[in-house]
Amino acid sequence: MKKYRILMASLMMVMAVAAHAQCAFHNDAFKSGEFLTYNLYYNWQFVWVKAGNASMSTVQSRYNGHPAYRASLTTRGNNRVDQMFVLRDTLLCYSSLDMEPLYFRKGAREGKRYGVDEVFYSYHDGKVKLRQHQLTSSGEHLWAHRTVSHCVYDMLNIFLRARSFNPEGWKSGHEIDFPIADGKNISPARLRYSGKVKIKADNGIKYRCLKLSYLEKEDGKYKRIVDFYVSDDKNHIPVRLDMFLKFGAAKAFLVSMKGLRNPVTSAVR
């Protein structure tokens, strides 16, 4: 009887670990202390103008008392562009050291509208539990609670995970489907690979890059949200981003990078 209890306790422990690790993924692309900066450009009446800057940082932190990665992405428009529209976005996410999503927040001021989306993740009995919160531009707080049997991501956590994808053997048109959560819904999303290109960053260096597109399903069709050009090395650093916004198109070009995990072997001299 004692051996039976020990066996059952051991099985329960294994099941608990498996449930928590069901959405784990190996990270070999970044480390704590990575910091990237970008120049932003906006297409205004068929002319690309300097719109501001963006930065992304990833550090090891703690979430609910446990070690975790904290990543943040901020975009800031300059005074010149503020006269046309106001762009103030801040994205924040936490993930476990095994790349499981733990938390996501997006605070966005675009034009005269400001809103907040939050997603809280927890893992129990092989299920993923989500608490979703949305602060609308009218000041209304909306909450949703969902339990699903598959892994769910948000637009920043999936980006961290995708940086460790191994593209060897991928052909142009290769697609990866996944569910994406915001403060209100869970929607189908897709990552599409479109081959290799050379991209010149705003630091004056050209890089061999992989072209990836992030698409979300809208009215039954997939719509491109962002094209990522990431370095063709183990870091998979975003060298250029083409963003398709509600109020136009914007681009971001890499200016500087520090704290990388791997050598930059994609630079073209």
Summarize pLDDT for 85-110 with one digit per residue, the tens. 556 688 999 999 999 999 999 997 76
Position with higher pLDDT, 113 vs 84 = 113
Interval 158-183 mean pLDDT: 94
pLDDT at 162 over 80: yes
Q: Calculate what percentage of the chain has a pLDDT beyond 90.
A: 71
Q: What does the block give as tokens for 61? A: 């932190």
Instruction: State the pTM of this model.
Output: 0.86
Q: Tell me, what's the pLDDT at 1?
A: 47
Q: Calculate what percentage of the chain has a pLDDT beyond 70.
A: 86
SS percent in the chain: helix, strand, coil, step 5: 10, 60, 30
Give the whole-angstrom CA distance, residue 48 versus residue 240. Answer: 15
Confidence category of residue 45, pLDDT binned at 50, 70, 90: low
Position with higher pLDDT, 131 vs 8 = 131
Confidence category of residue 57, pLDDT binned at 50, 70, 90: very high
Distances in whole angstroms, Cα of residue 226 to Cα of each of 16, 140, 264: 37, 28, 23
Q: Tell me, what's the pLDDT at 84?
A: 60
Overall domain count for the chain: 1
Query: Domain range spanning residue 44?
Result: 2-268
Position with higher pLDDT, 22 vs 266 = 266
Position with higher pLDDT, 113 vs 241 = 241
pLDDT at 16 over 60: no
Give the whole-angstrom CA distance, residue 247 versus residue 68. Answer: 35
